[in-house]
Amino acid sequence: MSIITVERKVLEKNDEIARRNRDLFSSKGIFVINLVSSPGSGKTSILERTLEYFNQRLQVAVIEGDVQTDFDAQRIARYNTPVVQIVTNGGCHLEAKLIEDALGNLDLSGVKLLIIENVGNLVCPSNYDLGEALKVVVASTTEGDDKPLKYPAMFQHASALIINKIDLLPYLNCDLNALKKNALSINPALKVFETSCTTKLGIPEWCSWLESNVRS
């Protein structure tokens, strides 16, 4: 028997490309967020409300990740925003290499903020660094209040939590305080926003926070 000591991270290749992406973003002065959640929590709707709010005052570009279709990119393109759709063809998450490749198809001139909408999935995307400055996790009230405890890694890696579909609370068995308490027990540093993409409640607060991060 002979033993070779290795001590190598399984995801070292992804991490290396993520570092390259991060260096590129930093050299161009672009702030990048990685938007993650389960499917149907309202990531794309939040993006739409965010683009409406900034209304070209802040130049934003978007990378959309989905298993199939370019529906989301079509929605974003209506806001005169540079957008690239990544179709993973079954892949359950975005990887740094996919972002690096997508950047070749995205006009980043003048862009201050790049939002990457990850594939809807609360498990796999938490493992993959894309080169973003921070992760933002969306949890909608329709998903219930226990998701932070069921999918802790995702909430631990995030800097902010958007609790979306807040307008539906009266119709649901979702305890908002329990949801927040659960999320903060996993990650006390989480900045929490409560939003509704229908009434636009909380969108200005979220956008102001985002903008202050972009400008800092």
Partner 1 sequence: MHELSFAESIADIIRQSVPEDELEDVRIVRLKIGTLSGVVADSLDFCFTAISAQTPLAQARLEIEQIPFTVLCNSCRKTFVNDIGYVVCPDCGGVETTVVSGRELQVTEIELDTEEEKTS
Asked if 69 interacts with partner 1 (CB under 8 A), we say: no
Min CB(87)–partner 1 separation in Å: 17
Question: Taking Cα atoms as reference points, which of 38, 51, 119 lies closest to residue 86?
Answer: 119
Q: Which of 81, 126, 140, 196 binds partner 1 (CB under 8 A)?
A: 126
Task: Identify which of 186, 136, 184, 129 has the alpha carbon closest to the alpha carbon of residue 160.
Answer: 136
CA end-to-end span of the chain, whole Å? 56
- Residues 74-103 as x/- pattern, contact with partner 1 by CB under 8 A: ------------------xx-x--------
Residue 152 binds partner 1, judged by CB under 8 A = yes
Size of the site for partner 1 (CB under 8 A): 30
Are 177 and 139 contacting, i.e. CB atoms less than 8 angstroms apart? no
**How far is 180 from 175, CA to CA, in rounded Å?**
9
| Segment interacting with partner 1 (CB under 8 A) among 10-18, 37-45, 64-72, 74-82 | 10-18
d(CA 155, CA 183): 7
User: What is the contact surface with partner 1 in residues (CB under 8 A)?
Assistant: 1-13, 92-93, 95, 123-124, 126-127, 149, 152-153, 155-156, 184-188
